[in-house]
Chains A and B, each alone.
Chain A
Amino acid sequence: MTKVVKTLTFPKLLLEHAKAIPKRPAYREKYLGIWQVTSWEDNLKEIKQLACGLASLGFKRGMNLAIIGDNRPKLYQAMVAAQCLGGIPVPLYQDAVAAEMIHVLNDAAISFAIVEDQEQVDKLLEIKDQAPVLSTIIYEDPKGLNDYVQSYLHSYKQIQLLGKTFSDEHPEFFITELEKGKATDLSVILYTSGTTGKPKGVAHTHQNFIRAGQNSSQFDHLNSEDNILAYLPMAWVGDHLFSFAQAMVSGLTVNCPESKETVMSDMREIGPSYYFAPPRIFESLLTQVTIRMEDAGTIKRKLFELAMEHAKKVGSDILDGKPIGLIDRLQYAFYNLTIYAPLRNALGMSKIRVAYTAGEAIGPDLFRFYRSIGVNLKQFYGQTETCAYVCLQPDGQVKYDSVGIAAPGIEIKLADTGEVLVKGVSVMDGYYQRPDATAESIDADGFFHTGDAGIIDKDGHLRIIDRAKDVGKMANGKLFAPKYIENKLKFFPFVKEAVVFGDAKEAIMTFINIDFEAIANWAERRHIAFAGYIDLASKPEVYKMIGECINKVNVDLADDPMLSHAQISRFLVLHKELDPDDDELTRTRKVRRGFIAEKYAPLLDALYSGKSEQFIETKVKFEDGRDGSISATVRIQDASTAMESV
C-alpha cells in the first residue's frame, strides 16, 4: 500500500473508485424527503463538470478555493474538483459570522468561493470590500437568490454547464490536469480555531491525509460497504478525516442529513456502520433514554433496569471478547433480544461497527453504558496539525480513560515536561505561510508539539491529562494535573464545577460547586429541608455525599502509579455558583483557576491551614448588572485518602 502512496492523490482515488465500484453510492443526501444517491460513477462526472467549469472561469493550479456550508455532497465534490485542477480547498466554519471569515479569506488569498446558500452568499457580500481578492462566488442552492444581480455570482449548475461545454472543447484537459497532481502537493488547508491569536492555516498534503485515511481505515477494516453520517462542520479536521479522506480511500458511503434539526431521525433511517460524535451528544442521547424510561410502565422499567444491571456486569467484557460464563452469556443474549437491540435501534445505532468519540474527556459511566449495550464506542486522539490521527483504541483493548495506542505510522513520546510529541505520516508540513509558527511547533527531529500533557502507561496507552501549560509540580516535585482531577470530579452528576489547587504545595485541595438542580432533587427525595443555594451547599448531608464522591476519586487516583500522590486532602463546597459574569469562568465555561485562587484567597488559606470553617464575603454581579455581595461561613472537611496500591 505504501508504494502507491508516493504518487497517489485524492482525484486519482476518485478515478479508481469510479472504475472499480461505479454503481456503489459515494454520497447520499436527503432532499425532498428522499435519500438521493450519487454513485461513484456519477460522482466523477459531477466533479469533472465542476472542475472544468471552474477552469473556464480561470481557476488555476495553486489557487485556493473557499468552501462554506453544511455537509452537502456538492461541497465535498467541490473539494475534489479543486484538487483535480491542482487547487487547494479551504473549508470554513459555516456558522462563523461574516467578520470572522475575513481573516481566513485574506490569509489564504481566496478568489473563488463555493458556498451552500443565500445565507453564506449574504455573508460574503457583506465583507467583500474587506477581502479584495475574492472575485467569484458560486452557490449551490438558488433559493432566495433570484434577485441578486452581481456579475460575480454564479450558480453551481451554471458552472457545471460551462464545464460541460469546456470539456467538450478540451476533452483531454481534465485528465491531464488530474495526472499532474503529486502526492506532495497540498490537499487542504484547515484553519485552527484560534483560541489564542488569529487562526492559523494548517496545510496538509495529499500524502498526509491519504496515509492517515488508509492506516485508520485498515485499523478499523473500513470498506465500501460502510456508511457514515456527515453532520459535523466540514472545516473541522475530524470531518475531513472521516467524511472525506477515509471515504475517498475506502470508498465508503457518506450520508448527508436533510438539515441540522433532522440529524437524529436521519441517523435512524440510515443506520450508519461508522459513527463519530463528541461526548456531549452521547450524553444527551443517554439523558433522553433515561427520561423516557422514567415515564415507562412499571414492568418495562423493571426489565430495563435488570437489563442495564446485567449489561454493566458483562456487556463490555463480551464486546471485548473476554471469557464469560455461559449463564451470563445466555442472559445477555435474552436482554439483547428484548432490550439492547431495540434500544440501539431507537438510537440509530443498530448497524454500528465502530463509533468514535473525542474532543473532551468522556465520563466512564457514559462510555461504559454504550459499550455495555453492544455499541463499539472507542476514543481517538489527534489535532488539526496531525489529521486528527495520533492515537486510536484498538478493538478489545479499550480503556475508558486512555485515548489508545499510537496509531500505525505514528510515533509518540513525552517531553520532560510531560508534553505529548508526535511524529509520523499525518503530521503537517507546516502552517500555511507561517514558517515562524511552524518552527515553534515542530522541532528539529520532526516532532510536533501538541501542547497537551499526557502519560503513557505500561501497555503503551496514552492518557491525556491536561493542557501542558496548566500542568504543574507539587512541592515534592511530583506531577500536578488539576484538570485531570477536576474532570474526574465533574463526572459525578452532583458536581457542577470543581477547582483543584496544589501547584507548588504539599497537598491538594479542592473547591466544589454543587449542581443545584440535581442536589435539590436529591435532597427533596430525602426530606432534607433547605432555604436556598447557600443553605443547601452547607448541609452536612451534602458534605457527606460530596465527600463520598471525592473518596471515590481518591481511590481511582490511588490505582494510578503516576498520580497516586495527587489525592485530594481537603475540600469545601462553595457558597456561590461560579459564573462567567463574575469572571470566574470563561465564556466557554472553563474554570479560571488563578483568578478563583485570588478571589477566594481566605478560603484557600483556610484549607491549607487546617481550619474547619471560614467566613467569606464575596462580590457578585446580578443578572441585571447591579453589584451586590453575599457572605457565608463555609465549612471545610477532610477527605479520606486511599492507600497507594503500588
Chain B
Amino acid sequence: MSININPSSNTVLQLANISLSFGGVKALTNISFDVREHEIRSIIGPNGAGKSSMLNVINGVYHPQAGDIYFRGEKRKQMNPAEAARQGIARTFQNIALFKGMTVLDNIMTGRNTQMKSGFISNAIWVGKARNEEELNRHKVEEVIDFLEIQHIRKTPVGKLPYGLQKRVELARALAAEPSLLLLDEPMAGMNVEEKQDMCRFILEVNQQYGVTIVLIEHDMGVVMDISDRVVVLDYGKKIGDGLPDEVKNNPEVISAYLGTNH
C-alpha cells in the first residue's frame, strides 16, 4: 500500500506505514496518519486495537519495526522518550503514573524537569541560578494549578486523591512542561459525568488558549465526537477509518467494528 506523503505546511506529526509487532503478535500493521497544528486528533477503537501502542510509538516508548515518523518535518526511524519530551511532546498515561507519595505541587514540578538547567551542586545548596530557576518554574506550575483549578489540593499527597483529581494532576504535570504536542491516553477513563465535563473543558481550553496540539485516546464516543477535529479508527492493529467525526461515525466498517458483527 502506498501512502501519499506530502506533509502540508501545518502538519506537526506524520506517521507513515508504521508496523509494530511483539514477537508474533502484530500490534500495528501499516498505519499512516497525520496530525496538524492546533487540532484535537482522536484515536479510537475497541480494546486491543493498538491505540496505546500507537501513542507509545509517537513518544518513543516502542520502536516500530517498519515505517517512518516525521516530527516537525524531520524524519526519524524511531523516537526516544527523553528526546521527545525535550522537543515538546508531553503525555499522560492510561493508568496514572504519578508519584503517589509526593504532593500535587511536587508532582507537577517534575513536569518542569526538562526546563531545569542548573547543576546538581547549586541545587543541593540552593544558591544562585538554582534559586531563580526554581522561582520561575514554580511560577509556571502555579499558572497551571490556577488553570486547572486545583489550588485546594496543592499540598495533598497524590495517593490520597480521588481518581478524577489524579487524572487532572497528571494533565497538570504534562502541561507544566509547556508542550506543543500533548498525548492523552484515556484522560476520562473512570470519571463521573461532572468530572468528564470538567476534563473536556480543560482539554478544549488547553487547545484553544495555548494552541497546544492534542492527540487523544478515548473510549467515550460522545466525548470524542464532541471535541475532536479529526478521528482515526483502529481495529486489530489496522486503520479502518480516518476523517471528520461525522464521517467516521457513519463509516460502515467502524460501525461493525464497534458492534462486533464482523468478527
Would A33 and B142 be within 8 Å (CB), given that A262-B151, A262-B152 are in contact?
A: yes
By the criterion of a CB under 8 Å from any partner CB, how many residues of chain A are at the interface? Answer: 13
Q: Which among A33, A147, A259 is the interface contact of B138 at CB below 8 angstroms? A: A33
B139/A146 in contact, CB under 8 A: no
B149/A32 in contact, CB under 8 A: no
Rounded to whole angstroms, the CA-CA distance of A259 and B106 in the bound complex is 20
B152/A261 in contact, CB under 8 A: yes
Which residues of A are found within 8 Å of B155, using beta-carbon distances? 265
Rounded to whole angstroms, the CA-CA distance of A32 and B145 in the bound complex is 8
Which residues of A in the span 137-153 have a Cβ within 8 Å of any Cβ on B? Answer: 143-144, 146-147
Which residues of B are found within 8 Å of A31, using beta-carbon distances? 146
Q: Is B147 an interface residue (CB 8 A)?
A: yes
0/1 per residue, B110-126, Cβ < 8 Å to A?
A: 00000000000000000
B142/A259 in contact, CB under 8 A: no
B208/A32 in contact, CB under 8 A: no
Q: Is B192 an interface residue (CB 8 A)?
A: no
B205/A144 in contact, CB under 8 A: yes
Which residues of A are found within 8 Å of B149, using beta-carbon distances? 259
Rounded to whole angstroms, the CA-CA distance of A259 and B208 in the bound complex is 24
Q: Is B83 an interface residue (CB 8 A)?
A: no
A259/B151 in contact, CB under 8 A: yes
Would A146 and B209 be within 8 Å (CB), given that A32-B139, A33-B142 are in contact?
A: yes
Which residues of B are found within 8 Å of A147, using beta-carbon distances? 208
- Nearest chain A CB to B211's CB is how many angstroms away? 11
Rounded to whole angstroms, the CA-CA distance of A460 and B188 in the bound complex is 62
Would A143 and B147 be within 8 Å (CB), given that A33-B154, A262-B152 are in contact?
A: yes
Q: Is A239 an interface residue (CB 8 A)?
A: no
Rounded to whole angstroms, the CA-CA distance of A258 and B143 in the bound complex is 13
By the criterion of a CB under 8 Å from any partner CB, how many residues of chain B are at the interface? Answer: 15
Rounded to whole angstroms, the CA-CA distance of A144 and B200 in the bound complex is 13
Q: Which among A143, A144, A146, A258 is the interface contact of B151 at CB below 8 angstroms? A: A258
Rounded to whole angstroms, the CA-CA distance of A146 and B138 in the bound complex is 25
Would A259 and B154 be within 8 Å (CB), given that A32-B143, A144-B205, A146-B209 are in contact?
A: no
Which residues of A are found within 8 Å of B142, using beta-carbon distances? 32-34
0/1 per residue, B126-167, Cβ < 8 Å to A?
A: 000000000000110011011101011011000000000000
Number of A-B contacts (CB under 8 A): 31
- Nearest chain A CB to B152's CB is how many angstroms away? 3
> Whose C-beta in chain B lies nearest to the C-beta of A259?
B151
Rounded to whole angstroms, the CA-CA distance of A265 and B154 in the bound complex is 11
Which residues of A are found within 8 Å of B152, using beta-carbon distances? 258-259, 261-262, 265
Rounded to whole angstroms, the CA-CA distance of A258 and B147 in the bound complex is 13
Which residues of B are found within 8 Å of A259, using beta-carbon distances? 149, 151-152
Rounded to whole angstroms, the CA-CA distance of A31 and B152 in the bound complex is 12
B205/A32 in contact, CB under 8 A: no
- Nearest chain B CB to A260's CB is how many angstroms away? 8
> Whose C-beta in chain A lies nearest to the C-beta of B153?
A261
Q: Which of B143, B146, B147, B151 has the most CB of A within 10 A?
A: B151
Which residues of A are found within 8 Å of B145, using beta-carbon distances? 32-33
B208/A261 in contact, CB under 8 A: no
- Nearest chain A CB to B5's CB is how many angstroms away? 34
Which residues of A in the span 403-439 have a Cβ within 8 Å of any Cβ on B? Answer: none
> Whose C-beta in chain B lies nearest to the C-beta of A144?
B205
- Nearest chain B CB to A535's CB is how many angstroms away? 37
Which residues of B are found within 8 Å of A32, using beta-carbon distances? 139, 142-143, 145-146
Which residues of B in the span 48-102 have a Cβ within 8 Å of any Cβ on A? Answer: none
- Nearest chain B CB to A30's CB is how many angstroms away? 8
Rounded to whole angstroms, the CA-CA distance of A144 and B138 in the bound complex is 23
Rounded to whole angstroms, the CA-CA distance of A296 and B147 in the bound complex is 37
Rounded to whole angstroms, the CA-CA distance of A412 and B110 in the bound complex is 63
Which residues of A are found within 8 Å of B205, using beta-carbon distances? 143-144
> Whose C-beta in chain B lies nearest to the C-beta of A263?
B152
Which residues of B are found within 8 Å of A144, using beta-carbon distances? 205, 209
- Nearest chain B CB to A317's CB is how many angstroms away? 39
- Nearest chain A CB to B168's CB is how many angstroms away? 13
0/1 per residue, A29-43, Cβ < 8 Å to B?
A: 001111000000000
Rounded to whole angstroms, the CA-CA distance of A147 and B208 in the bound complex is 9
Q: Which among A34, A146, A265 is the interface contact of B208 at CB below 8 angstroms? A: A146
Which residues of A in the span 254-285 have a Cβ within 8 Å of any Cβ on B? Answer: 258-259, 261-262, 265
Would A261 and B147 be within 8 Å (CB), given that A32-B139, A32-B142 are in contact?
A: no
- Nearest chain A CB to B164's CB is how many angstroms away? 15
- Nearest chain A CB to B84's CB is how many angstroms away? 29
0/1 per residue, B193-236, Cβ < 8 Å to A?
A: 00000000000010011000000000000000000000000000
Which residues of B are found within 8 Å of A258, using beta-carbon distances? 151-152
> Whose C-beta in chain B lies nearest to the C-beta of A143?
B147
- Nearest chain B CB to A591's CB is how many angstroms away? 33
Which residues of A are found within 8 Å of B209, using beta-carbon distances? 143-144, 146
Rounded to whole angstroms, the CA-CA distance of A144 and B143 in the bound complex is 14
Rounded to whole angstroms, the CA-CA distance of A259 and B138 in the bound complex is 19
Which residues of A are found within 8 Å of B154, using beta-carbon distances? 33
Which residues of A are found within 8 Å of B138, using beta-carbon distances? 33
Which residues of B are found within 8 Å of A261, using beta-carbon distances? 151-152
> Whose C-beta in chain A lies nearest to the C-beta of B201?
A144
Which residues of A are found within 8 Å of B151, using beta-carbon distances? 33, 258-259, 261-262
Rounded to whole angstroms, the CA-CA distance of A34 and B146 in the bound complex is 12
Which residues of A are found within 8 Å of B147, using beta-carbon distances? 143
Which residues of B are found within 8 Å of A146, using beta-carbon distances? 208-209
Rounded to whole angstroms, the CA-CA distance of A32 and B143 in the bound complex is 6
Rounded to whole angstroms, the CA-CA distance of A265 and B138 in the bound complex is 20
Which residues of B are found within 8 Å of A34, using beta-carbon distances? 142
Rounded to whole angstroms, the CA-CA distance of A33 and B135 in the bound complex is 12
- Nearest chain B CB to A281's CB is how many angstroms away? 17
Which residues of A are found within 8 Å of B139, using beta-carbon distances? 32
Rounded to whole angstroms, the CA-CA distance of A261 and B149 in the bound complex is 10
Rounded to whole angstroms, the CA-CA distance of A562 and B25 in the bound complex is 89
- Nearest chain A CB to B210's CB is how many angstroms away? 11
- Nearest chain A CB to B81's CB is how many angstroms away? 30
Which residues of B are found within 8 Å of A265, using beta-carbon distances? 152, 155
Rounded to whole angstroms, the CA-CA distance of A147 and B209 in the bound complex is 9
- Nearest chain B CB to A572's CB is how many angstroms away? 43
> Whose C-beta in chain B lies nearest to the C-beta of A147?
B208
Rounded to whole angstroms, the CA-CA distance of A32 and B142 in the bound complex is 5
Which residues of A in the span 114-159 have a Cβ within 8 Å of any Cβ on B? Answer: 143-144, 146-147
Rounded to whole angstroms, the CA-CA distance of A143 and B143 in the bound complex is 11
Rounded to whole angstroms, the CA-CA distance of A259 and B148 in the bound complex is 12
> Whose C-beta in chain A lies nearest to the C-beta of B138?
A33
> Whose C-beta in chain B lies nearest to the C-beta of A142?
B209
- Nearest chain A CB to B106's CB is how many angstroms away? 13
- Nearest chain B CB to A623's CB is how many angstroms away? 21
Which residues of A are found within 8 Å of B146, using beta-carbon distances? 31-32
- Nearest chain A CB to B140's CB is how many angstroms away? 10
Rounded to whole angstroms, the CA-CA distance of A33 and B139 in the bound complex is 9
> Whose C-beta in chain A lies nearest to the C-beta of B141?
A33
0/1 per residue, A1-45, Cβ < 8 Å to B?
A: 000000000000000000000000000000111100000000000
Rounded to whole angstroms, the CA-CA distance of A144 and B149 in the bound complex is 13
Rounded to whole angstroms, the CA-CA distance of A33 and B151 in the bound complex is 8
- Nearest chain A CB to B54's CB is how many angstroms away? 31
Rounded to whole angstroms, the CA-CA distance of A144 and B146 in the bound complex is 13
**Residues of B participating in the A interface, judged by any CB pair closer than 8 Å:** 138-139, 142-143, 145-147, 149, 151-152, 154-155, 205, 208-209
The 9 closest A-B pairs by CB, nearest first: A261-B152, A32-B142, A33-B142, A258-B151, A262-B152, A259-B151, A262-B151, A32-B146, A144-B205
Give 26 pairs: A residue, B residue, CB < 8 Å, sorted on A.
A31-B146, A32-B139, A32-B142, A32-B143, A32-B145, A33-B138, A33-B142, A33-B145, A33-B151, A33-B154, A34-B142, A143-B147, A143-B205, A144-B205, A144-B209, A146-B209, A147-B208, A258-B151, A258-B152, A259-B149, A259-B151, A259-B152, A261-B152, A262-B151, A262-B152, A265-B155
Given A34-B142, A258-B151: 10 more A-B contacts, CB < 8 Å: A32-B142, A32-B143, A33-B138, A143-B147, A143-B205, A143-B209, A146-B208, A259-B149, A259-B151, A262-B152
